[in-house]
Chain A
């Protein structure tokens, strides 16, 4: 395999991280501080998620890494390769086959099961940060459940844009207690936060881990007269025809031509394999041929 300890981190570090994870699972939505290590990648590339994954991986695991829904972007490829080298675990692109999924900015379309762990890379774990810059104050606000400020942010959205314009990193309240930043996933994914899988959030630079145990209650914050809406582009996927998945808009030429495709590449492929076709699927296949 390699000269590295299994999954790169030494065992003491992994135990430290696991303790943080257990505490995070016991207090859903609460940000647990942990002694984040220097990883062989820059901050912002998923150092928090990688450490959480490293602490969770066992040799039998099958790992999937996605970045913005895709398995083949730089960040996903390099993290997948990192664990192939340092842990020697099997990897996969198929959501259903994976036992541990590390993700950046998306939740897979396919519902996760109780046998899976979803690890999020988190840039800024503090949902109150942009409203209240003082860490001492935000900690106090969490401990005293003073969350009026989060609604001030949503109020500002409506006042300025006529609707809640926050479209990603949309704040949620967990089990009626902690307000949590679900990481920069689109708000379309917020309903999927109530899941059968264990969901772990790792912020490396900010040294915080938080978690959602299976089936815990996650409510997206809103107003009575401006209820939360999980929005997406008003299109069907141009490749697989799905009308219910989250879409990326892709500019295809210099003349303003564009297409909408599933952001979850595995989901899209699975549908096409099953014979579903979208508006531009034929053209796309010709191009490929």
Chain B
């Protein structure tokens, strides 16, 4: 489902004398449907960079990133958007929403964007918010004022609203208490069971050991080591 090969990435800082910072060389990995793969490596090794490149958030300088038949590294913005809408979900560490939009609609939005009827989308959003223990009185409020943990759970609910065939998870269990951590891990298990290919970053080793089938150490993609 997700196949990466020969991926290279440099940052060029034009405003700092055109400094070129190579951050990734010949990265390669693959994630099959129903499989969960964890990216590991020291901080700064390029886990987030790789994840962002798979999502199309960072450009690749070379290589292939194939997600559901689309090469994200080469695709037009429009194709990437279509991929993100229907195929590729992403739970980031930060919630970025229009202020004022009720939590319920924030969670339902990915479904609305796919053309799901409003009522159906909201029902699904209610289920998820309830499972993630977001008190119902908060649903009509904008999540911008919520605590970090609440925002994280809203973000997860939003990421799991649609049954994406491929999912990217960036620290999904960080800043969650034990009960909610269990709910998230259950969600991940369910996603795997329905055949989703999941690529994640988990600093929580216990969680990683529970849901991940394999780990990929990104340290070996670091340009310094290869050279």
- A/B touching: CB–CB < 8 A: no
Interface residues of A (CB under 8 A from B): none
Interface residues of B (CB under 8 A from A): none
